Amino acid sequence: MSAPRIDIPPNTNGLPGLAALESMVGALLTFGLVAAVAGVAISSIAWAIGSHSSNPHVAGKGKTGVLVAGGAALLIGAANALVTFFNTVGHTVQ
């Protein structure tokens, strides 16, 4: 099974300022991905400190932070593939 190709053409005849909006969304996705990866790193440090200091509250918060930030990073990183998947599925519905 091969990965689907991401070949959705952009709407160039849209509203004025569409190019600026496209660059803003790209910048926000990049910032969000960097922030999510930083959240994974910071939460894993908190998890490690809480585990080694026998503090279950900090360890639990760190574990939750790792799961949430990891899920966010996965969702942001897979955004293009998700859009392509739902676009393909939407075109097959009669």
Query: pTM for the full model?
Result: 0.71
- When the pLDDT of each residue in the chain is averaged and rounded to a whole number, the result is 86
User: Does position 3 have pLDDT exceeding 80, yes or no?
Assistant: no
Q: Identify which has the larger pLDDT, 33 or 80.
A: 33
Characterize 31-68 residue by residue with b for buried, 16 or more Cβ atoms within 10 angstroms of its Cβ, and e for exposed. Answer: ebbeebbebbeebbebbeebeeeeeeebbeebbebbee
The predicted pLDDT at position 93 comes to 76
- pLDDT value at position 4? 65
